[in-house]
Chains A and B, each alone.
Chain A
């Protein structure tokens, strides 16, 4: 087999009878037009160079040229540029395809370059509107105000709220509004305003019934255009439930990202940008074969090899520059819509998405430079002779060692970091090492592909005719096929790795909530002033439509009696839980219970809170408790065992029924209510939030919904899936282009095959195989490579693989792309399988 490919394959403008008779893969008519247009252009070229005084023909003038001939360069680049735009309909199509392909890449790169400014702007505005307080020293003054968080949710969407109360006459204005809202007034973001106006938002309107909307929060007060924000003035804020401040904005550094998050971010960048690079490289090569033939025509009239290379460079330069323009346009247009997109709860102002100038400049220089470089590299393997294109005399054997060395090196960089990455913000992660390792692995996987494809197709014999046609085609040009698919490999390998990483890490987040599926789904808690306040709150929640299984407890601390130092913070304390018997039964196996009973749970024998002991219910260190307030644990207090599914915080302490303890005397009693909602009642969760808002706008309602967590993971999965799909579609598009180009070149051959009575299905299948074989190999390789990378990354964060199912959708997309490319190629195939191609007259 290898001997067959030894001899140079000549194809193209060769006009000698021998070559033309044997292997001219396109009909005479196209050959003629290509030949004439090329020749006429070339004669112009010859003329131009002759007038410039450097004859392209003879060897001597060439030898006299300086190594860098500026005039020659500009002339040849200009000539190439002219070919790019004047090559007739086909030339234009080619240039446009390149431009669109490069443009897509550029747009993505610009978006990536805008990420830092997006994050910076968001962080800046987030800091500007935050309130630094908790300064107990600060006394009320003309500029001071009280502020409490009023964050809430509506149907799973987060609403960022601030409750404000001016204490003086000159309170500062929060960012985005002209003045601080007065009690009963509310300013809302445009998105929230629109949401409130919607017909089906009546429950939400109810929640804000206490406030009158008096204005809109401008962009300076928002992180993104779709952010739901309100600022409400409330006279119910006190020093107890709010913090005092005298200005908005904090200048402190945000909490540093944890190493795990940095790892994720680095991987996302690598995974998103690698296929873009591959795709730009592929796009620049669109229509290469046709270009090579034109260059051969130029050689015929005397262009030397260096000239042809420069002309080719000029041609791709035009495509790349056009692509740059297209990419900028796509980015600018796409940016207008960025505000309406919310990914991972992140929503961005178009104006925030401003590429970093240095990065933008780098893109503007690097993309055309890469285009030229790729073109010149692609020309390296072939020799353009006057009579046609000779593909490397003896085809270079694909070497395995460096292809294996790349991923090996990559893993070599990654493996030492195993176990080093943690959630601690200060764990230091060498981002460059991670990025370099990941890039090397992905590039290595890609570099392995041509070798694998070649090895695979060369080993194949037999099979049905369509299979044979496809295999033979791939044998002749396995490089082209592999190149096209390499984008798939990078994208899928990256996506698989990152998805595995997310899946592994996501599991941690779910465990962190400390909640199991059997727990109440909703928790509501607030500080209460006295037993009436607590009882009122509980009743209000119970009476909320859709609320059920309401269980409540009041939590406080008790200290050892007889501590004389009222300022110590080290006196022994225990927890005190107060709840009615019904609620207690859900926490403990309690047996008989009636109001007035007291129990003990999980206390160690050495604890001071023994039955019959007097304890201090206003212990030092907890709030304003200047003197001891004694209460006696009844001697009859039984020890009870907490139920297996009880919340973790009720396990250990004194457990009392309401009338057993003077609730009103406790220091800072904290009311916790757990409840479920009736799924049959519409917006039941939001009804609960409404009740909470009415009772206390600063009270927190937490929904421990597993589902919600999974949804977030699903978001990530969807994002990756969409990203991978888009990448694969792009690659599919370039495969279609290659396929169509190939079909066009073979129009005459197709007609001959039709004359022979070839069935359409035979050719259709051969096209299917031609796409399917490299894509399948690419997918297999990328799944293997991606999984290996994923395992290593997970080991780095000290986790094991949770989910192999990440691999499944990728296989699906791959199959989809194969089907798509084949299907899109079929209509032109049918069209070209007509006898017209036989007409030579």
Chain B
């Protein structure tokens, strides 16, 4: 999961302090693994260096924690690209995909497209595996089947999420 893209996405709705960003992240995505402050600041400084965010202002009193960040146009493009790019299908992908879907919903992008794209990618891989399985020996078949069953589980999750997008959108925006 890309924390940078996630934080960038969170910034799309408006400039925030580093502390706000951590809280927003934890609320939506960090159910079991909250971000460290250090992670936030190192990520923000990397983004700042790459020109994806800019410092919108500094609160009086100084100190790094009072910096307010805003997303740049380059940053917005970067988020859009990230969201449109299907993830390489692999086990335990859900957290990344979930983040992407929520961000897409938050930023008013088409989450259904995102899911469809991902699903097509999954199926492409499944097709390859099926092809390999048909040509291969029993060991190949078993290995491919293992992967196929996992991919199928992901795909089911994708379908389920797609079916519940409206519901999720409401929850996220609430």
* A and B in contact, CB less than 8 Å: no
Question: Which B residues have a C-beta under 8 Å from some C-beta of A?
Answer: none
